[in-house]
Amino acid sequence: MIRLTDQPFDPGAELTRFCQGRNRTGAVASFVGLARGDDGEAAVLELEAYPGFTQGEVGKMAAAAAARFDLHEVTIIHRIGAIGVGDAIVLVLTAAAHRREAFDACDFLMDYLKSRAPLWKKEHGPEGSRWVEPTARDMADVQRWE
Amino acid sequence: MIRLTDQPFDPGAELTRFCQGRNRTGAVASFVGLARGDDGEAAVLELEAYPGFTQGEVGKMAAAAAARFDLHEVTIIHRIGAIGVGDAIVLVLTAAAHRREAFDACDFLMDYLKSRAPLWKKEHGPEGSRWVEPTARDMADVQRWE
Amino acid sequence: MAHVLLFGRLADVAGWRERAFDPAPATLFALKSLIADGDAGLAAALDAPGVRAAVDRTLISGDAALTDGAEVAFLPPMSGG
Amino acid sequence: MAHVLLFGRLADVAGWRERAFDPAPATLFALKSLIADGDAGLAAALDAPGVRAAVDRTLISGDAALTDGAEVAFLPPMSGG
């Protein structure tokens, strides 16, 4: 399941649902990205998507991960729009028979989201706003999988 | 927080709590181990601990992970006793500033739990019961960190 | 007519996010020149490393022919998560 | 007196989980011989690769002196998660 949403969501509620009713799945890995900042700040981040395009591209990544790591299921939820301090920005959930596949798929999907998903992130800080671009570390991380 | 429990628990409720009230944490990784089996089976697993010893040993591993990966927080919940199909056996939650540290700490802790935590796992299958011992893969996995 | 969308920092540099160019130029490269015409800052931003283009929601490497009514998006380096 | 605890498959092999040995032998190795006395299966299980011992809840490598009242646990290869 791939969902882009401009509303806050609860990663725990998603994990509860994701774990239910399984019997072949031995391993569920998850990653939650949270918005860092100072308490009391208004929106610290703004995420822009390309409507009609971003969701499909993220879906292609998820399908690639599912095939490569033999996943039973994958869920990605990504906030768009204005995001406050402490809010979940992204949630990736992966289910597999064994832990290595679940971990690697989750790690892989986060690396892809950081540098290949059509999303653009603007940080609002005390010194103004700036568009975030993938770091050298992000680029090196994603190349581990190629 | 380290908890051994003979009662079912909800990994999602733990994740919700773990994510709340954070502002320095950018990354929360988690792993849930689920009991595989056929629907309708009674207990498929039995986990034995050494009361008064296991919790402390797991706590030492968690402290080692917190220091090594610069974690903001770590939670480990481990079921003991009889476990039914689909139940969560273990939950590891790690919070860090960035994703690499959160992922690695979670991965590291699972590798340790699989082969170094004083817990003994008995599988009940159609052909009887057997004590599970770490596989060659488990031993290789844990050696990645040494 | 070509319908052009700018994302992220490209929209900030251009001062707009969405604009129609009528008639549509024959190629993506010709459209890019037209968009940046007289705006050296925008020309540089569109040619910056990592900027991709999508025509009718398909990522394009290099140049491409444009048909009338095409949706052309310019995508600066992506960063989700 | 030494209070002995067996875990996992060791308890299955021995047919008991907990037992007092009085008086306590002077060393861990002597206690191990006493426990397995006459039971070749249990002797082999206690000496199997990966079996650890803890004295008063501290993991021991090699032999160790035992004091009266010691709690001695024999731990087969561990596997949580």
ipTM: 0.93
Q: With 90 as the cut, is the pLDDT of residue B42 above it?
A: no
SS3 category, D10: helix
| Average confidence (pLDDT) over D13-38 | 95
D78 CB neighbours in chain B (<8 A) are 115-120, 134
Q: Cβ–Cβ of D80/B47 closer than 8 Å?
A: yes
- Let me know if B127 is exposed, middle or buried by CB neighbors in 10 A (0-12, 13-18, 19+): exposed
Question: What are the extents of the domains in chain C?
Answer: 2-75
Task: Tell me which residues of chain A, numbers 54 to 83, contact chain B at a CB-CB cutoff of 8 Å.
Answer: none
Q: Which of the 8 DSSP states describes residue D17?
A: S
SS (H, E, C) C3-46: EEEECCHHHHHHCCCEEEECCCCCEHHHHHHHHHCCCHHHHHHH
A67 CB contacts (<8 Å, ≥6 apart)? none
Q: Pull the structure tokens for residue B131.
A: 């004590």
Structure confidence at residue C64 (pLDDT): 96
Question: From the list B23, B34, B103, which residue is nearest A38 (CB)?
Answer: B23
- Rounded CA-CA distance A105/A82 in Å is 28
Our CA-based measurement puts residue C19 at a distance from the nearest CA of chain A, in whole angstroms, of 15
Chains in contact with C, where contact requires at least 3 CB pairs less than 8 Å apart = A
State CA B13 to chain mean position distance: 16
Structure confidence at residue B39 (pLDDT): 66
Q: Is B68:B112 a contact under the CB 8 Å cutoff?
A: no
The answer to whether the peptide bond before residue C23 is cis (omega within 30 degrees of 0) is yes
Q: What is the DSSP string of A71-126?
A: -SEEEEEEE-EEE-TT-EEEEEEEEESSHHHHHHHHHHHHHHHHHTSSEEEEEEET
Q: Is A89:A45 a contact under the CB 8 Å cutoff?
A: yes
Percent of chain D exceeding pLDDT 70 equals 100
- Rounded CA-CA distance A83/A45 in Å is 5
Unique residue bearing structure tokens 């700040």:
A41
Unique residue bearing structure tokens 């605890």:
D5
- Rounded CA-CA distance A7/A79 in Å is 7
A35 CB neighbours in chain B (<8 A) are 26
Percent of chain B exceeding pLDDT 90 equals 84
Q: B2-143 adopts what CATH topology?
A: Aldehyde Oxidoreductase; domain 3 (3.90.1170)
Structure confidence at residue B126 (pLDDT): 77
- Rounded CA-CA distance A137/B130 in Å is 45
Q: What Cα–Cα distance (Å) separates residue A41 from each residue in A84, A85, B12, C13, C81? A: 7, 7, 27, 26, 20
Structure confidence at residue B40 (pLDDT): 65
Our CA-based measurement puts residue B51 at a distance from the nearest CA of chain A, in whole angstroms, of 26
**DSSP-derived pairing of the beta strands A119-125 and A128-132:** antiparallel
- Rounded CA-CA distance A16/B4 in Å is 20
| Average confidence (pLDDT) over B76-82 | 97
Q: Is B2:A13 a contact under the CB 8 Å cutoff?
A: no
By C-alpha distance, the chain A residue nearest B92 is A29
Residue of higher predicted confidence among A132 and B68: B68
SS3 category, A129: strand
Question: From the list B11, B20, B37, which residue is nearest A15 (CB)?
Answer: B11
This model's pTM is above 0.90: yes
Structure confidence at residue A25 (pLDDT): 96
| Average confidence (pLDDT) over B108-127 | 93
Amino acid at D69: G
| Average confidence (pLDDT) over D41-53 | 95
Structure confidence at residue B71 (pLDDT): 98
Digitized pLDDT (tens) for each residue of chain A, 146 residues in all: 999 999 999 999 999 999 999 989 999 999 999 999 876 676 689 999 999 999 999 999 999 999 999 999 999 999 999 999 999 999 999 999 999 999 999 999 999 999 999 999 999 887 789 999 888 889 999 999 98
**DSSP-derived pairing of the beta strands A119-125 and A45-49:** antiparallel
B26: closest CA among A116, A103, A44, A146? A44
CATH of D2-75, one of 1.20.120.1200, 3.10.20.30, 3.40.50.300, 3.40.50.720: 3.10.20.30
Question: What are the extents of the domains in chain B?
Answer: 2-143
Q: Is B129:B73 a contact under the CB 8 Å cutoff?
A: no
B138 CB neighbours in chain D (<8 A) are 79
Q: Cβ–Cβ of B10/A33 closer than 8 Å?
A: no
CB proximity A33 to C under 8 Å:
yes
CB proximity D60 to B under 8 Å:
no
Digitized pLDDT (tens) for each residue of chain C, 81 residues in all: 999 999 999 999 999 999 999 999 999 999 999 999 889 999 999 999 999 999 999 999 999 999 999 999 999 999 888
Structure confidence at residue A125 (pLDDT): 81
Question: From the list B23, B24, B33, which residue is nearest A26 (CB)?
Answer: B33
**Angle (CA) B88 B86 B56, round 5°:** 20
Q: What are phi and psi of A63, to 5 degrees?
A: -65, -40
Q: Cβ–Cβ of C77/A133 closer than 8 Å?
A: yes
| Average confidence (pLDDT) over D9-17 | 96
SS (H, E, C) chain B: CEEEECCCCCHHHHHHHHHCCCCCCCEEEEEEEECCCCCCCCCCEEEEECCCCHHHHHHHHHHHHHHHCCCCEEEEEEECEEECCCCEEEEEEEEECCHHHHHHHHHHHHHHHHHCCCEEEEEEECCEEEEECCCHHHHHHHHCCC
Unique residue bearing structure tokens 């008991």:
D16
